[in-house]
Amino acid sequence: MKNSLFGTDGVRGVANVYPMTVDFAMALAMAAAKEICTTKKRVALAKDTRISGDMLEAAMIAGFTSQGVDVLQLGVIPTPALTVLTPRLDVDMAVMITASHNPYHDNGIKLVSADGDKFSDKVTSRLEKAVAKGGFDFDKDKLGRVVPCFGVVDDYVTTVLRAVKRRNPFRGLKLVVDCANGCFSKIMPAVFQKLGADVVALSCEPDGLNINKDCGSQHIEKMCAAVWENSADLGIAADGDGDRIIVCDEKGKKIDGDQILAFLGQYFKATGELGAITVGATIVSNPGLDRFLAAKGISCVRSAVGERYVIDEMRRTGSTFGGEESGHMVASDYSKTGDCLVTALLFVQALLNTNKKMSDIFPLFQPMPRLRVDSVFSDNAKMAKAFDKPEFQEAIKEGEKLLGKDGKVLVRKSGTEPKIQVWVWSDNLELAAEVNNVISSPLEKVAGYVSRK
């Protein structure tokens, strides 16, 4: 059964609109209780700062406890904290209620295994099937309890600080941190201050409605301006649940995620911490990253888009560091998933080791130019049918042959809109445009085609 609700990182939607409703959250909890919580009969439950978290938390507590499963209520903690702590909590699984970098009116549900990993597509498909089937049993003698556990953040911080190699390593450093009015609001400024840094904290006053609002990883304008205005050395922005990082230099210029992968990749190699001398990235990272890493004697392996797939590829190859150009960075020696705080601590240490300003370091490499064409369709069904047309598949092969070794082609269906995206990287922009046209042109003849962007 193909997942219809679960994406690469859980279920997500508008709160109080299916599937982010009380009924669905409760049914999912009951399904997870039946399918997953069969040994210890315990689950850990956490949330971010958005207002609908209370509603969905209550629904999931009701669902789990109605099936005889005890709920460890962790309150507001970052997603990376939950994944690190779950293996220590003696539970069958954990749940994070969050819509990550989305605005407050959205919410989502991420499911975490007892080992602290995201569940596979196979498991989430099984849960979807159980929710659809329904018919859950209720027993008056099998009820679960709610166990408040609101002090676990200290254990997470202690774990995170293992990434710091020296005492008071950030003395003399001034930085701006934008916590997106999310899960890191009370944590990240305190950690950097404890380590001796002069911290200018932004967006650290969550009220349930302001998470990610004009702040954080998706809206870095205020952070960049604050870095410049306060003569800070750099700026760091998290998203609402803390699994994404965006960085800017002392001039307020954003540093691309691929540049962070390159910078920390070479840092880990120098410190002997880069497993298999390999960095994990996704298919949308710039080919310039591969060039840079190869020149440093580092391999770059690619996965499908999605942090979970990056982690799978890292494990397959033995790599200990990887991520996405969007800002999800995974340092597996210190965290189970993308972790803004861990990455920030490692990044700052690597920066201080250079004794240079960020603007003198970045960009580490010049990205290969990219041209992208989106072919828009009237609906997802027509888009999917067009993608599978033999003529289109042949056009892709023709485009790849035309480009040869002078670049890279990526063709993918959008995960959110009825669009087929054709990405062409090449140092020769005229050739890139020609290849894009060769691949995209057959789509114009397919029923449901709307326009090319």
Tally of CB atoms within 10 A around 333: 14
The Cα–Cα gap between 348 and 188 comes to 13
Catalytic-role residue among 4, 52, 66, 100: 100
The Cα–Cα gap between 107 and 55 comes to 11
For the entire predicted model, the pTM comes to: 0.93
The Cα–Cα gap between 327 and 319 comes to 18
Long-range contacts of 327-334 (CB under 8 A, 24+ apart): 327/217, 327/239, 327/244, 327/245, 327/246, 327/257, 327/260, 328/243, 328/244, 329/245, 329/257, 329/260, 329/261, 329/264, 330/280, 331/163, 331/264, 331/268, 332/275, 333/273, 334/159, 334/160, 334/162, 334/163
The Cα–Cα gap between 347 and 341 comes to 10
Q: What is the pLDDT of residues 290-334, one digit of tens each?
A: 999 999 999 999 999 889 999 999 999 999 999 999 999 999 999
Dmax (CA) of the chain: 72
Domain residue spans of the chain = 11-151, 155-367, 370-452
The Cα–Cα gap between 415 and 207 comes to 31
The chain-wide mean pLDDT, for the chain, equals 95
Cα torsion 93, 98, 99, 101 to 10°: value is -110
The Cα–Cα gap between 377 and 436 comes to 17
Tally of CB atoms within 10 A around 287: 17
Q: Do residues 307 and 328 touch, judged by C-beta distance below 8 A?
A: yes
Instruction: List the pLDDT tens digit at each of the 453 positions of the chain.
Output: 456 788 778 899 999 999 999 999 999 999 999 999 999 999 999 999 999 999 999 999 999 999 999 999 999 999 999 999 999 999 999 999 999 999 999 999 999 999 999 998 899 999 999 999 999 999 999 999 999 998 899 999 999 999 998 777 999 999 999 999 999 999 999 999 999 999 999 999 999 999 999 999 999 999 999 999 999 999 999 999 999 999 999 999 999 999 999 999 999 999 999 999 999 999 999 999 999 999 999 999 999 988 999 999 999 999 999 999 999 999 999 999 999 999 999 999 999 999 999 999 999 999 999 999 999 999 989 999 999 999 999 999 999 999 998 899 999 998 778 999 999 999 999 999 999 999 999 999 999 999 998
**DSSP-based three-state secondary structure for 449:** strand
First to last CA, the chain: 33
- The pLDDT, as a whole number, for residue 1 is 43
Quote the CATH superfamily of domain 370-452.
Alpha-D-phosphohexomutase, C-terminal domain (3.30.310.50)
Segment holding 430, helix H or strand E: helix 429-440
- Token pair for 362: 């970045």
For residue 369, cis peptide bond before it (omega within 30 degrees of 0) = no
- The pLDDT, as a whole number, for residue 3 is 66
Q: Do residues 278 and 301 touch, judged by C-beta distance below 8 A?
A: yes
Fold equal for 11-151 and 155-367: yes
The Cα–Cα gap between 233 and 357 comes to 7
Q: Return the CATH number of the domain spanning residue range 155-367.
A: 3.40.120.10
- The pLDDT, as a whole number, for residue 2 is 54
The residue assigned the tokens 């042109």 is: 441
**Residue 100 annotated as catalytic:** yes
The Cα–Cα gap between 31 and 397 comes to 44
- The pLDDT, as a whole number, for residue 368 is 96
The Cα–Cα gap between 337 and 321 comes to 11
Q: Do residues 418 and 426 touch, judged by C-beta distance below 8 A?
A: no
CATH architecture of 11-151: 3-Layer(aba) Sandwich (3.40)
The Cα–Cα gap between 284 and 126 comes to 29
Q: Which amino acid is at 145?
A: R
Burial, 179: exposed, middle or buried (Cβ in 10 Å; 0-12, 13-18, 19+)?
buried
Tally of CB atoms within 10 A around 391: 12
The Cα–Cα gap between 320 and 317 comes to 9
SS3 of 375-404: the string is: EEECCHHHHHHHHCCHHHHHHHHHHHHHHC
